[in-house]
A and B are shown apart, each in its own frame.
Chain A
Amino acid sequence: MPSTGTAVELHGITKRFPGVVANKDVEIVVRTGTVHAVVGENGAGKSTLMKILYGVQRPDEGTITVNGQQVDLRSPTDAIKAGIGMVFQHFMLADNLTVLENVVLGAEKLHGIGAGARKEIERISQAYGLGIRPGDLVADLGVGARQRVEILKVLYRGAKILILDEPTAVLVPQEVDELFDNLAELKSEGLTVLFISHKLDEVLKVADEITVIRRGTTVQTVDPKSVTARRLAELMVGSELPTPQTEDSTVTDEVALRIEGVTLGASAGPKVLDGIDLTIHAGEVVGIAGVEGNGQAELVEVVMGMRDANAGTIMFGHTDITDWHTREIREAGIGYIPEDRHRHGLLLDAPLWENRILGHQTEEPNVNGLLIDAKDAKRDTDRIVQEYDVRTPSIFVTAGSLSGGNQQKLIIGREMSHTPKVLVAAHPTRGVDVGAQSAIWDHIRAARREGLGVLLISADLDELIGLSDTIRVILRGRLSGEFDPDTVTAEELGAAMTGADTGTHADTKEEGA
């Protein structure tokens, strides 16, 4: 790899917010033409650091050097001028515009908005193997392609140094591999990539150098060839990791939830869900693997009563809950950990204790007849904060002021507090740091021992394999294949998730029912 000079040097970067130091004496040297990963737990100060490098925030102390020249970045415009571009975790694309329109938006002066821009987009796409067609409508693109459009947007504006903030959080394994191929392409063309992540194996796979951040300061820069994921995690959390323990099966014969022939979508055309048959027993964790957008979200919404299926039945124990409303379903004892906690799990502007009520507005200890029982709800919130180790100064701060991991622990605590018989958990540890992740897994395992049936949707194969008693794969709205997590390999799952094992998945479809 060509590494003639340094693309970015950060020396002694310190950023204080009133009463708190977000970054302290950060030292990072990024060589030109490399992929440099920055890893750290949520809240370790990665985002603040990247905001500083992208000109969103200014450091109180320290220097930033880009390509050998010291720069003063006052705004993202300055950063872009210096050749730094940022690809955010949440895409900023207009669905109803084409790729071309999205790319030129705000950069009309560079190559115009017509043929010139089109040519430039095609050139960049060619040069870096992005496979983007300027005429495509963004609404028609998948997540991976959208991310490539975001990368292209940044390159189009002349960036030579790319910051990717948690780029794999939204991708499935195959897409991650594609992204890594793209990054290799960028690298070989002499571009520099700063890769923010907390997924250690990915970082080890893609990075040329890894800098670990803990509590706002850089701990160490290591060579991925000479370090293990375990060692990295230890650097990140600053302590020894607990060893994952294999547990005996707790699966019983008692059916907790039975989904039969659930179909969603118009009679003509492709169905979002197509004849889903699935049984979850008490004490069993059924994991659903699949490339995002193959019906997982819809399956969850149908089970939770947020959407009505066009056909099929859902049995909760011996009760038919197909036509039940969300509230009745939750009251009956189905807990829900939503995929998007900000949209579906929390009221971000409301204090923690009001969030403790959410989803259980009709249940003890939150209510007293038709009135909200604030006193008991507050007391119980205190208990959840204690038992589930929600790191917060008080239960009166808004949910939005907590970190993602603590928000998630609050949600888990809330759902578990109503002793559900079935838990629908969609990506329960997404965007959550290592410490919170293992705590959440422990809670799910503990509840499973007590006879909880869990429908686990996840994109994290480690999570699926580590938690599930049975793994099913969803592809284009159909359940295909059934795997034993003890023997399945990531490759086998990956093949089933993309339909590469086409010959078998149609035959194995009925097995699980």
Chain B
Amino acid sequence: MSRFEPRRFLLGLAAPVLALLVAVLVTSLILVITGDPVADVWSQMLKAPKPGQATDMINNAVVLYFSAIAVAIGFRMNLFNIGVDGQYRVAAFAAAAVGGQALLPGPLNIVLILLVAMATGALWAGIAAWLKVTRGVSEVISTIMLNSIATGVVAWLLAKVAAEQSAGSNDIGTKRLPDSSHLDGFVLLAGTQKKVYGLIVLAVVVGFLYWFVINRTRFGYDLRATGRSESAAVASGVNVKRMVLSSMLLSGAVAGMVGLPLLLGENYNYGTDFQAGLGFSGIAIALIGRNNAIGIALGALLWSYLDKQAVTLPIATDVDDSIVKIIQGVMVLAVVIAYEVVRRLGKRIEQQQVTRELAAQDRQPVAEGASA
């Protein structure tokens, strides 16, 4: 038996494809029931995006990618960091406030912004980790609560440090980053002036590091072992409390990066109009991408594609763009179910294969030993 098994690969691919089909089916059904034009909606959704739109999709996906990786770090050891949403907002605010002061010249300020964002995200997630390790508080509960606390804290601090209000707007925000701290990115797709966020590079680096640390390092092994069986991990010498603390801090640090592409490449400050809710999409994308660095990238692109295609839906078809939320929701549910079904199926097939191959070995005892 070889390392690479086409069957396992196909099984892995079957789950997301199946989930997508189910999502399409259920959504179509809903459209039929509500008497909406099914064909029109799908032709609109499947219309090839223009280069400008495509760039938007990529940019949105970059942001979602950080969010989903942050969630996935926790998932890999059965930690549910529902608090990415709060973590990135607190982090983005802190980074914007510090960055706006222009304490360091040029690119150094960008590095400072990055570090402040990571540290703040880690700190905010660290509260939940600390509560879990010392008091046994479920991280699900504490991170959800910290999300809501984050909203309050950021609003309050924003009012304190707010720079001048722009004329005719109720929006307040932190001081604008100096021009030298802007990362406007670069034009990726021909046929548009729109630029892809410069931090797409950071996303690729984070994705690679995520894969490398989880799969290639001792720390990653301990983390995965804890996720697979905490009791076995403890018996193998893993200090589970320390693992909870460090993985939560890592997750928070990555969560801290979620807002940076927006801060450095689009908004240049943190204001009341800063995009919210990115943390929750991250949970869904981590599920769809199966905590896999590449899978999450594809999931983020798909998610972002659906988000952006929906924008024109009401104009073109008179169907509200909330239908996309239904597609996304059904997809996540279907994907979770499909993965579990595929996992069980794979397990059963493997068991049968082992029995079969052992029986075959028994019949010809000359060919001894394990053939790897």
Contact with B along A107-120 (1 / 0, CB 8 A): 00000000000000
**B1 and A347 within 8 A (CB):** no
A401 in the interface, Cβ–Cβ < 8 Å? Answer: yes
Taking a contact as CB atoms closer than 8 A, the residue among A330, A346, A350, A394 that contacts B1 in the complex is: A394
Least CB distance, B180 to chain A, in whole angstroms:
37
Least CB distance, B156 to chain A, in whole angstroms:
42
Give the interface centre of B221, B352, B356, B369 by most chain A CB atoms within 10 Å: B221
**B222 and A361 within 8 A (CB):** yes
B237 in the interface, Cβ–Cβ < 8 Å? Answer: yes
Give residues 308-354 of A contacting B (CB, 8 Å): 325-331, 336, 338, 343-350, 354
* Chain-A contact segment, one of B55-63, B197-205, B223-231, B304-312: B223-231
Least CB distance, B203 to chain A, in whole angstroms:
24
Given known pairs A18-B352, A19-B356, A392-B370, the reply for A370 and B217 (CB within 8 Å) is: yes
Give residues 377-431 of A contacting B (CB, 8 Å): 378, 382, 385-386, 390-398, 400-402
**B370 and A394 within 8 A (CB):** yes
B151 in the interface, Cβ–Cβ < 8 Å? Answer: no
**B353 and A393 within 8 A (CB):** yes
Give residues 40-88 of B contacting A (CB, 8 Å): none
A362 in the interface, Cβ–Cβ < 8 Å? Answer: yes
Given known pairs A371-B218, A401-B350, the reply for A358 and B359 (CB within 8 Å) is: no
Contact with B along A353-379 (1 / 0, CB 8 A): 010011111100001001110100010
**B216 and A325 within 8 A (CB):** no
Least CB distance, B265 to chain A, in whole angstroms:
34
**A347 and B372 within 8 A (CB):** no
**B216 and A343 within 8 A (CB):** no
Given known pairs A350-B228, A358-B225, A370-B218, the reply for A391 and B235 (CB within 8 Å) is: no
B325 in the interface, Cβ–Cβ < 8 Å? Answer: no
Least CB distance, A87 to chain B, in whole angstroms:
24
Chain B residues with Cβ below 8 Å from A338 are 235
A350 and B229 CA atoms in complex are apart in Å by 10
Least CB distance, A426 to chain B, in whole angstroms:
11
Least CB distance, B29 to chain A, in whole angstroms:
32
Q: How many residues of B contact A (CB 8 A)?
A: 39
Chain B residues with Cβ below 8 Å from A304 are 235
Chain A residues with Cβ below 8 Å from B371 are 393-394
A330 and B217 CA atoms in complex are apart in Å by 19
Taking a contact as CB atoms closer than 8 A, the residue among A328, A362, A394 that contacts B372 in the complex is: A394
Taking a contact as CB atoms closer than 8 A, the residue among A343, A345, A401 that contacts B354 in the complex is: A401
A370 and B216 CA atoms in complex are apart in Å by 9
CB-CB nearest in chain B for A352: B370
**A372 and B216 within 8 A (CB):** yes
Give residues 263-315 of A contacting B (CB, 8 Å): 304, 306
A235 and B7 CA atoms in complex are apart in Å by 39
Chain A residues with Cβ below 8 Å from B359 are 20
Chain A residues with Cβ below 8 Å from B276 are none
B165 in the interface, Cβ–Cβ < 8 Å? Answer: no
Taking a contact as CB atoms closer than 8 A, the residue among A354, A393, A398 that contacts B358 in the complex is: A393
A395 and B2 CA atoms in complex are apart in Å by 10
Give residues 323-358 of B contacting A (CB, 8 Å): 347, 349-358
What is the predominant secondary structure among interface residues of chain B facing chain A? Answer: helix
A336 and B232 CA atoms in complex are apart in Å by 12
Chain B residues with Cβ below 8 Å from A358 are 225, 232, 236
Least CB distance, B350 to chain A, in whole angstroms:
5
Contact with B along A459-488 (1 / 0, CB 8 A): 000000000000000000000000000000
A434 and B350 CA atoms in complex are apart in Å by 25
A129 and B103 CA atoms in complex are apart in Å by 84
A347 and B1 CA atoms in complex are apart in Å by 21
CB-CB nearest in chain A for B229: A347
**A367 and B356 within 8 A (CB):** no
Taking a contact as CB atoms closer than 8 A, the residue among B225, B349, B353, B370 that contacts A390 in the complex is: B370
Given known pairs A348-B229, A361-B237, the reply for A393 and B218 (CB within 8 Å) is: no
A19 and B216 CA atoms in complex are apart in Å by 36
A378 and B216 CA atoms in complex are apart in Å by 14
A361 and B218 CA atoms in complex are apart in Å by 7
A331 and B237 CA atoms in complex are apart in Å by 9
Least CB distance, B217 to chain A, in whole angstroms:
6
Give the interface centre of A20, A304, A330 by most chain B CB atoms within 10 Å: A20
B239 in the interface, Cβ–Cβ < 8 Å? Answer: yes
Given known pairs A367-B218, A393-B1, the reply for A326 and B350 (CB within 8 Å) is: no
- A residues near B (Cβ < 8 Å) are 17-20, 304, 306, 325-331, 336, 338, 343-350, 354, 357-362, 367, 370-372, 374, 378, 382, 385-386, 390-398, 400-402
A-B contact pairs, 9 of them (CB 8 A): A20-B356, A338-B235, A343-B231, A361-B222, A361-B238, A390-B370, A391-B358, A394-B370, A401-B354
- Name 14 extra pairs, CB < 8 A, besides A338-B235, A347-B225, A382-B372: A19-B353, A325-B239, A328-B237, A358-B232, A361-B237, A361-B238, A370-B218, A378-B372, A385-B370, A386-B370, A393-B371, A396-B3, A401-B351, A402-B354
- B residues near A (Cβ < 8 Å) are 1-3, 216-222, 224-225, 228-229, 231-232, 234-239, 347, 349-359, 361, 369-372
In the A-B complex, list the 4 residue pairs whose CB atoms are closest, starting with the nearest: A327-B237, A393-B357, A344-B235, A394-B1
